[in-house]
Amino acid sequence: MDKVLDDFRYAVRKLKKSPGFALTVLLTLAVGIGATTAIFTLVYDVLLKPLPYHHAEQLIVMEEQVAEFRDIYPTLPINANHFVFWSQNAHTIQSMAVMQESSMPLGGGARPLRIGVLRTTPGVFSVLDSSPLLGRAFSAQEAQPGHDHVIILMDQLWRQQYGSDPAILGKSVLLNGFPYTVIGVMGPSFHLPVLETFASADSTPPQPAEALVPLAFATEQLQEKMGDFNYFGLARLVPGVSALQASAEINALQGSIMRGLAPDEQGTLSAVVSPFQGALVGSNRTPLLLLLCAVAGLLLVGCVNITNLLLARAASQKQSLAIAAALGASRAEILRVGMRETVVLAAAGGALGLLLAAGIIPMMQQYLPPALDFRGPLHLDWVGAAFAVSLALLTAVFAGAVPAWKAARTDPHEVLQSEARLGSESSSSKRLRRILVGAEVGVSMALVLMTGLLTTSLFRLLHVDRGFEASHIVTATLNLPQKSYADKKARAAFFKEATDRLTQLPGVEGAAAVSVLPLTGDSWIDMIRVPGDTRPAMQIPSEHFRWVTPGYFDVIHLPLVAGRFLQPGDEGKNYTVLSELTARTLWPGRNPIGQEFHRGGQSDTIFTVVGVAADARTVSLSKPDPMMVYMPYWYRNDNSAGLLVRTRQDSSTIADAIRKSIWSVDPEVPVPAVNTMSGVVVDSLANRRFELDLLILFAISALLLAGIGVFGVVNYSVVQRQRELGLRLALGAQRGNIYRLVLLDGLSPVMAGGIAGIAVAFSFARVLQSLLFQVTAYNAAILSSSVCLLLAVGVAASLLPARRAASTDPMQALKRE
């Protein structure tokens, strides 16, 4: 123990004499360990850490597949009829539940609030093995139509809206215009994920649940064997049963359902069963692992830099170590002496890295996309702390072992017989230092190239021809109280009055309502049957439907291709507008204007096509819309709708006027914070932006560290070669020749590392390609730009040492011993 303390004191004294060296190493380690620990904490939290439910490994997500729709919809939510059938007949499943997210107005305050509500069957509490902190869960009776006006509050809503009042149980709250009895309050540790049943990768996710209400199926829903597929399914397996066994049983039940289908409903049904955590992570797995590799690369670059610094420091201490060896010190003792400063620095850097990670993680939480925020607040736990400690130990071994080993293997006679006071660096040390610089340049090159590809991809996504204009549009999402707007006519009257009043505001060019705002998901998928088409229902094309008010197309500047748009004078008529793709698919080579179709079955209302709108990207930025049908709001409308206002004013100045206009129609309608349509576009790419911002940060840091590494190696080489450089100048060499000599010396490992980095990046091409949009992983322009950037960093890092070398006084250099 005394020897350890002596080593510690000696290392601290030595480091105090080199504060610049110690500070550089400490900061490099702290940043590398802190950033890596923070990203590891995120990856562990999302990918590896068990979900906060009892026996979370038993939880599975259940989805359906219809083979006839698989090319368009690989999986579908669950049908109500199928869910009940599975519940009654599945023996591999202990309990199951379905749920559906929505937003509803909550009254009782000065102004109504718009809150996220999860409608769920009572089985959700058994599936998640959770119960309210206060009160009780839903009963089976309360999941029946007419008995479902009870509510369970989430902890945050209970605290913020009701002041943590324990007497809230039994009281009524006004939800959706109806009185709901509060029967429970969930605990603060209960956290439900955001469910993205209809959302695409480039869609804004729905609002997180702030309250739970029973999901009651209507009688007609349960009678439709191939009705709507609307519900997110979650189940708990019987202990000892695998997801594969449950999948086999559910698919057998799907076969029973198919055998009972009517001839017109014949379709190939199957079920998809997957672990809950894997389903939540979804497409985010690859970007998260890429981030972890990137930050590990950053730490590797930092370690290489430290190794180079320690090699240079060891070269200046060769004589003292040689004297110790000549006096009888063993190689083990010299190795220990060589490692003690590294160990102290690694321990201090690890501690600083832990503090940095503890500060980064809460900041990272603020920018975390909702798709990754399914567990609650991130925090640095013992796993993250253990990871940081392990990193500190690894960096100590990685960075300090090579210099210490070289010092231990130094021949004392060779060093002591050297005439140079500083002793020139051996060729093996020079070669090793250049290899290490090449390695960090290679990692930096791979990071810069991948960042360039993803940045270009995001830029092209943001600037892709969307088919509509997002600028100068202000948006809001409205939720009409169900009690006041229970029928279609009342809702249509509200939307007409609201859009008329908004249009009259100063600076407003137009206003419209739509079932869902562009790029915020989808909610209505249906089939179209052209008269005379006798194919079974499952073989009929399916389309995405949106109901709109007549001004919608003008507000978002969606081009007209043929015919005309819906007009206020069309009210009451079954007119519709189709997208180009829909028109071409239904009537190839024919004029679609005036054509008729049924929505769904043969007996449904006949609609007449009056216009064709251009195809756009209102569902996802990454691909054109599927077949789209725009229905008039007087035929169908919902309590939830998106509002769009095109204005010449600044969005911040008109927001209050929009709220007042809506409240002038009905003060009980909640109007949340308004957003610009451009903001909605950006929000739809939240996942990509979060991952890219971190990758850019890592790439810049790696470039900076690589530049420091090149500078260190070239500068040290200049110091070691001063006599040689002085001799060259004395013999008539021009200063330009010295500049060229030093620059080539610095750029040779940069070029070698750059080539290696390109090879590494190209090895990830297949993974990267799945994350890119309209750019190939082998893009020549991005590759050449990355190479130029890396060369610029190498030149910049070599210029100062080159200038120092060129200004060497030949006489002074030759006089040195």
pLDDT tens track for 536-574: 766 777 788 999 999 999 999 999 999 999 999 999 899
pLDDT, the chain, mean: 81
State the pLDDT confidence band at 134, using cuts at 50, 70 and 90.
very high
State the pLDDT confidence band at 370, using cuts at 50, 70 and 90.
low
State the pLDDT confidence band at 686, using cuts at 50, 70 and 90.
confident
pLDDT of 674: 85
Residue 667 neighbours by CB under 8 Å, 6+ apart = 111
**pLDDT, mean of residues 82-106:** 91
**pLDDT, mean of residues 361-366:** 79
Among 611, 597, 439, 476, residue whose Cα is nearest residue 532:
597
Annotate 742-796 with DSSP letters as a single string.
HHHHHHHHHHHHHHHHHHHHHHTHHHHHTT-SS--TT-HHHHHHHHHHHHHHHHH
Annotate 115-172 with DSSP letters as a single string.
EEEEEE-TTHHHHTT---SEE----SGGGSTTS--EEEE-HHHHHHHHTT-GGGTT-E
Q: List beta partners, residue 64.
A: 76, 271
Determine if residue 163 is left, alpha or beta; phi over 0 gives left, psi from -120 to 50 gives alpha, anything else beta. Answer: left
Query: Which position has the higher pLDDT, 350 or 133?
Result: 133
Q: How far is CA 515 from CA 479, 544, 547, 573, 738, in A?
A: 11, 11, 5, 19, 71
| pLDDT tens per residue, range 585-628 | 999 989 999 999 887 655 568 899 999 999 998 888 888 888 89
Among 340, 357, 297, residue whose Cα is nearest residue 30:
357
On the question of pLDDT at 809 being above 70, the answer is no
State the pLDDT confidence band at 197, using cuts at 50, 70 and 90.
low
Query: Which position has the higher pLDDT, 19 or 583?
Result: 583
Task: Pick the range with the lowest mean pLDDT from 319-328, 400-409, 686-695.
Answer: 319-328
pLDDT of 421: 44
State the pLDDT confidence band at 423, using cuts at 50, 70 and 90.
very low
What does DSSP assign to residue 205? P
pLDDT of 420: 44
**pLDDT, mean of residues 160-183:** 91
Query: Which position has the higher pLDDT, 35 or 564?
Result: 564
Please state, in angstroms and rounded to a whole number, the distance separating the CA atoms of residues 154 and 184: 9
Please state, in angstroms and rounded to a whole number, the distance separating the CA atoms of residues 197 and 231: 8
SS3 288: helix
What does DSSP assign to residue 238? P
pLDDT of 198: 47
pLDDT of 86: 92
Please state, in angstroms and rounded to a whole number, the distance separating the CA atoms of residues 138 and 148: 9
**pLDDT, mean of residues 203-211:** 72
Q: Is the pTM of this model over 0.95?
A: no
State the pLDDT confidence band at 405, using cuts at 50, 70 and 90.
low
| pLDDT tens per residue, range 760-781 | 888 877 777 878 888 888 888 8
Q: How far is CA 797 from CA 313, 357, 432, 720, in A?
A: 20, 30, 19, 18
On the question of pLDDT at 177 being above 50, the answer is yes
On the question of pLDDT at 136 being above 50, the answer is yes
Single-letter amino acid, residue 589: G
Cβ-contact 543, 582 below 8 angstroms: yes
| pLDDT tens per residue, range 342-352 | 778 778 888 88
On the question of pLDDT at 132 being above 90, the answer is yes
Domain boundaries, the chain: 1-55+291-418, 59-238, 422-464+686-817, 481-668
On the question of pLDDT at 581 being above 70, the answer is yes
| pLDDT tens per residue, range 250-278 | 999 988 888 887 766 677 888 899 888 88
On the question of pLDDT at 745 being above 80, the answer is no
Task: Pick the range with the lowest mean pLDDT from 227-231, 369-373, 447-451, 465-469.
Answer: 369-373
**pLDDT, mean of residues 376-391:** 80
pLDDT of 404: 59
State the pLDDT confidence band at 200, using cuts at 50, 70 and 90.
low
Q: Is the dihedral of CA 359, 363, 368, 373 positive or negative?
A: positive
Annotate 571-637 with DSSP letters as a single string.
TTS-EEEEEHHHHHHHSTTS--TT-EEEESSTTSPEEEEEEEEPP--SS-TTS---SEEEEETTT--
Structure tokens at 642: 């998106």
Q: Between the ranges 58-72, 124-138, 406-420, 732-746, where is the mean pLDDT highest?
A: 124-138
Among 190, 51, 217, residue whose Cα is nearest residue 121:
217
Alpha-carbon Rg of the chain, whole angstroms? 34
**pLDDT, mean of residues 713-722:** 65
| pLDDT tens per residue, range 293-319 | 888 888 888 887 777 777 766 655 555
